[in-house]
Chain A
Amino acid sequence: MKKRLLSVILVLTVCITMLAGCGKKETEETNNKAETKSETNQETKEPVDASKYEVKEPITIKWWHALEEQYSHVVEKVVNDFNSSQDLITVEAEYIGSYSDVNEALVAAHAAGTGLPGVVVANTPYVAEYGASGLTEDLTPYIEAAGMDMNDFGLGLVNATSYEGKQVSVPFLISTQVMYYNVDMAKELGVTIPAKIDDMDEFLKSVSKFNADGTTDVYGTIIPGWDQWYFETFYLNKGVNIINEDGISTDLDSETAVEVANMIKGWCDNGYAYWATGQDASSIMRQNFIDKKAFSVLHTSSLYNTYVDKCDFEVGMAWYPGDKTNNSEVGGCVLLVPSKNDQDVKNASFKFLEYLVSEEVNMTWATDTGYMPTRKSVLETEEAQKFLAEKPAFQAIFDNLDLINPRIQHKAWSQLAEIWKSYMAETIIEKMDVKEQMGNMAEEINEVLEDQ
């Protein structure tokens, strides 16, 4: 057993290192260019004066986060440990709300130039938008001054947190999309989660249950319609370019994209799947799964602990079915320092940020939340072995770590996502013509992409 665990850890280590290779070819090329550029810069650049980034006076900084109530004990412990570990910096943690709430609050504070936090979390797709606008501090010199080893994160995560070769953020709590399922039900029905998207129809039909009046008693799955991150993987794995290489157009009206949308709509029309949308959609989805009203749900791997704690049946975690590719996308959040802060605040903030992503704290986050360890060195520790032993369902992720891609980065991504979610919900719930809707949607998205 120990040998097996060790081998898993070794595979994991190799996979994280390979995360960069999971992206598209052009991403790889860009990375190489960035690396070469960075190397060239390093050759010619003067060494960073570390004294510029030192904290000399006592200071209090704020940390804005999106970790909900169930994680409050971890937040409290980590912040207290940091505060008591040194005398100069006092951190005050503030729960702001969801990632979009944090985004709104951060941009408003940035525009006003006051009330900015020292350190803040940001959902992974915001990195490009923040980097392009200069909202984030370029952390490269701080990292150099502190001697922080960014290679320990794996190139994929480093890319997901950089903008044009600048390290504008640092990987923090990382997750990916998975399908949670009721293992007891699966055993009873003798089914396994399909590996191919095209087999989903039959699979969902076999696990769904219907009442005498034709209404659904148990849904095959629930699709979170409130966040396109959960369904965009189906499109990507079918080969749809959500943003084309030109950066100003989408392929979401292509034949393949229409086919995927039709397929999802078909699941919902037949009562096999439930499209969860609206303000309380997430809690409704969770409750349905806990109440055995759904065989499976598509959700983030970070909620593994929550599902296991709440369900009175064995919870399985499966990789999404694939097609041309079998990829998933990195989720969760990064840490950044707003650029409009004073230098003293920035220096203190970086010290705290460094602590939050340090090896010793990295494993605390992974163990006490459902997020994955992000440092390669951490995976070689005893705690990491224990983590795998305690959460065997994570095997589904560890087996596919090299397939986790960085998110699509575009300045207009959040606008695109809003339009996409709205059209998908309307098409499915109002049973509208998919082709026509996707055409109208693509037109609107193209207009948004062009107008940047």
Chain B
Amino acid sequence: MDADVIKQKPNKIKKRTYFTYAISSAKDFTCVLPALVLLAIFTYYPIVEVIRISFTDWNLINDSYKYVGFKNWEWLFAGSGTKYLLNSLKITALYSLGEIAITLGGGLLFALLFNQITKTFSVLRAVVFMPRYVAMSSAAVVFLWILNTDNGILNYFLGTLGLGKVDWLGNKSTALISVLILTGWRAIGYGMMIYLSAMLSIPKDYYEAAALDGANSFKRFWKITIPMLSPTTLFLLVTTFISSMKVFQSVDILTDGGPYRSTEVIVFMIYKYAMQDFRMDRASVVAVFFFIILLIVTALTMKVSKKSVNYDS
């Protein structure tokens, strides 16, 4: 009898463990279920829908549509869409590089400049960071006037320096730069704040030891600050890259993708096909292609970062 009890015990414990585990898992699952449902409705379902629409001829203005196979994909890769896709990819890449350079480079520069805890520097930091809180739409409308060829304040200052007027938004070579000026004005303070907080967390001992070893300030910056900031740099690189890929509002208000598509970033291209031409079919095919590209680039970034980012502190 006793022996039987002894024999049965582990099984009972085992059964109870499985049961407890199942209950516990079910509880956990119930907790995340609302989030999963929302994620499925607002993220995964739209992705599936966009893929499906890319195989139809749906015009937003019509209620009905039919499946057309790979016709839209053919338009994108072997029709008139190719030219515009390549153009938009090039512009998006240039814009992205610009925004990354401004946010990371400019942010680091300002962080080094304002890396002192004094009242004056606090005020200066606030001034640089403040544009981040100005709504992009409002900022873009203000910049529309700043960059105005005839009455803009920027051209007025150029004029006082004896320089000629620049058609900032109407010229192919300056339109994208103008959009980047607005982006930089808003993003540089954010880069500065992130770098500043990371800089303040670097132990002072490293710098003191390096100074004792005779390292000059540049060497200390290059050998200590930069490597110690690498996780922050990666964070900024990934977040800035993603936000730069999604740029739309500034382009919409400042240039409307023009002049002649010279600022037509890929999200604006998608918007144009969907909301101006009402070609949901073409907009969807571009969106799916863009989604694939972003997926690949993000995966590559994460892979590269594992090798070259220093997480020691």
Contact = CB atoms under 8 A, between A and B. Distances in A.
A418 B277 contact: yes
A188 interface: no
A280 B61 contact: no
Given A284-B150, A429-B170, A447-B80, A134 B63 contact: yes
Contacts of B272: 418
Given A278-B255, A429-B170, A107 B60 contact: yes
A426 B259 contact: yes
A429 B262 CA distance: 13
Interface string A272-287: 0000011111001001
A63 interface: no
Contacts of A444: 80
What's the interface size class on B, roughly? 20 to 34
Interface string A388-424: 0000000000000000000000000011001000110
A107 B59 CA distance: 10
Interface string B147-159: 0111100000000
A425 B256 contact: no
- Which one of B144, B256, B260 has the highest number of Cβ atoms from chain A below 10 Å of its Cβ? B260
B62 interface: yes
- Interface SS of chain A: helix
- Which one of A108, A287, A451 has the highest number of Cβ atoms from chain B below 10 Å of its Cβ? A451
A306 interface: no
Interface string B55-85: 0000111110000000000010001100000
Contact of B79 (A111, A129, A422, A447): A447
A307 B202 CA distance: 64
B278 interface: yes
A244 interface: no
Given A278-B170, A414-B277, A429-B171, A422 B258 contact: yes
A225 to B, nearest CB: 9
Contacts of A422: 258, 260-261
A5 to B, nearest CB: 41
B149 A129 contact: no
Contact of B259 (A107, A277, A415, A443): A277
B61 A277 contact: no
B61 A110 contact: yes
A39 B61 CA distance: 31
A287 B275 CA distance: 31
A426 B276 contact: no
A389 B59 CA distance: 48
B60 A279 contact: no
A226 to B, nearest CB: 9
B254 interface: yes
Contact of B258 (A129, A130, A133, A425): A425
Contacts of B288: none
A433 interface: no
Nearest to A430: B172
15 contacts: A107-B60, A108-B60, A108-B275, A111-B60, A111-B61, A133-B59, A133-B61, A133-B62, A134-B62, A134-B63, A277-B258, A278-B258, A284-B148, A415-B279, A426-B260
Interface of B: 59-63, 75, 79-80, 144, 148-151, 169-172, 253-256, 258-261, 272, 275-279
Closest 3 CB pairs of A and B: A426-B260, A133-B61, A278-B170
